[in-house]
Structure 1
Amino acid sequence: MGTATESELDLAGWLTRIQQLHPNEIDMGLERLNIVARRLGLATGKQADSPLVITVTGTNGKGSHVAVIDAVLRAAGKRVGSYTSPHLLHYNERICVQGVPVADSAIVQAFVAIEQARQDVSLTYFEFGTLAALMIFQEADLDVMVLEVGLGGRLDAVNIVDADIAVVTSIGLDHQEWLGDTREAIAVEKAGIFRHRKPVVCTESDPPITLLQAASALSCPVYRAGRDFIASTSLVDERWHWRGRMGAANSTGRQTQTLTVANLPVAALAPSNIAGALQAVCLTGLLPSEDWLQAQLPQILSTLMLPGRQQWFHPPRFPVSVVMDVAHNPQAGQALAKAIQCQRQQILLQTGRIGSVRVVLAMMADKDHAGFYQALEKQADFWYIAHFDLPRCLPAEKLANLLHGFGARQGSMVPISSPATVTRAFQTACTDAVAGDIIVVTGSFITVSDVMSSMSD
Structure 2
Amino acid sequence: SVFLTYFEFLTLAALVIFQDHQLDLWILEIGLGGRLDAVNVIDPDVSVITSIGLDHQAYLGTSEEAIAREKAGVMRAGVTTFSAAINVRKTLDDEAVRQGGLMRWLDEVLEGSTLVLAKQIIDLTRMQLPKTSVALASLAMEELGYHITTECLVGLEQAQMLGRMSRYQIGDQTWILDVGHNPLACEFVTQALADSVETDHRVVIFGALSDKDVESMLPILQAYTSRIALVGIDGDRGRSVDSLVNLWSALFGQTCWRSFATLKDALEGLSSELKLDDQVLIMGSFVLVADALKHDLFN
TM-score by length of 1: 0.61
Q: Describe the superposition over 1:43-93 as per-residue Cα deviations: whole angstroms up to 9, x where unpaired.
A: xxxxxxxxxxxxxxxxxxxxxxxxxxxxxxxxxxxxxxxxxxxxxxxxxxx
Task: Look up the SS of the partner of 2:133 in the other structure.
Answer: helix
How many angstroms does 1:384 deviate by?
Answer: 2.1
Is 1:271–2:138 an aligned residue pair? Answer: no
How many angstroms does 1:441 deviate by?
0.6
Residue aligning to 2:198: 346
Query: Which residue does the alignment assign to 1:187?
Result: 68
Which one has a bigger Cα radius of gyration? 1
Which whole-Å CA distance do the structure 2 matches of 1:423 and 1:147 have between them?
35
2:143 maps to which of 260, 265, 283: 283
Confirm whether residue 306 of structure 1 aligns to residue 151 of structure 2: no
Letter of the 2:287 counterpart: I
In the alignment, which of 36, 51, 54 is matched to residue 173 of structure 1? 54
1:159-198 Cα distance to aligned partner (Å, 9 max, x none)? 1222221110011111111111111111110011111211
The answer for unaligned runs of 5 or more in structure 1 is 1-31, 36-120, 234-240, 245-257, 348-353
Distance 1:311 1:242, change over 3 A: same
Q: Distance in 2 between matches of 1:282 and 1:220?
A: 18
Give the secondary-structure state (helix, strand or coil) at the position aligned to 2:8: helix
How many Å separate the matches in 1 of 2:167 and 2:11?
A: 31
- Alignment match of 2:258 (pick from 398, 401, 414): 414
CA shift, 1:231, in A, is 5.1
Give 2:116's match in structure 1, choosing from 239, 243, 260: 243
Match of 2:150 among 291, 295, 306: 295
CA deviation after TM superposition for structure 1 residue 405, in Å: 1.3
Partner of 1:322: 175
2:228 alignment partner AA: W
Deviations 1:369-393 (A, max 9, x none): 1110011111122222223333111
In structure 2, the residue corresponding to 1:144 is in which secondary structure? coil
Q: Distance in 2 between matches of 1:262 and 1:408?
A: 47
Structure-2 residue corresponding to 1:148: 29
Which residue number corresponds to residue 277 of structure 2? 436
Q: Secondary structure at the match of 2:27?
A: strand
Q: CA deviation at 1:277?
A: 1.1
Shift in CA distance, 426/280, structure 1 to aligned 2, threshold 3 Å:
farther
RMSD: 2.1
Matched residue pairs, number? 298
Distance in 2 (CA, whole Å) between partners of 1:452 and 1:361 is 15
Structure 2 contact 68–92 (Cα < 8 Å) conserved: yes
Q: Report the counterpart of residue 402 of structure 1 in structure 2.
A: 247
Partners of 1:330 and 1:375 within 8 A in 2: yes
Preserved CA contact (<8 Å) 2:233 2:288: yes
**Could you tell me whether the CA contact under 8 Å between 2:245 and 2:259 is conserved in 1?**
no
State which of 290, 293, 296 in structure 2 corresponds to 1:452.
293
Percent of aligned pairs sharing the same letter: 29
Alignment of 1:186-205 (within 5 A): 186-205=67-86
Question: Which residue of structure 1 lines up, in the alignment, with residue 99 of structure 2?
Answer: 218
Instruction: Tell me the TM-score normalized by structure 2.
Output: 0.91
Question: Partners of 1:280 and 1:408 in 2: how far apart?
Answer: 47
1:333 to 169, 177, 186: 186
Alpha carbons of 1:421 and 1:206: their partners in 2 closer, same or farther (altered >3 Å)?
A: closer
1:311 alignment partner AA:
S
2:43 is the counterpart of 1:162 = yes
Q: Which amino acid aligns with 1:319?
A: D
Q: Give the drift of 1:230.
A: 1.1
Unaligned runs of 5+ in 2: none
Deviations 1:102-139 (A, max 9, x none): xxxxxxxxxxxxxxxxxxx2514x33332232232222
Find the counterpart in structure 2 of residue 65 from structure 1.
Answer: none
Moved more, 156-165 or 263-272: 263-272
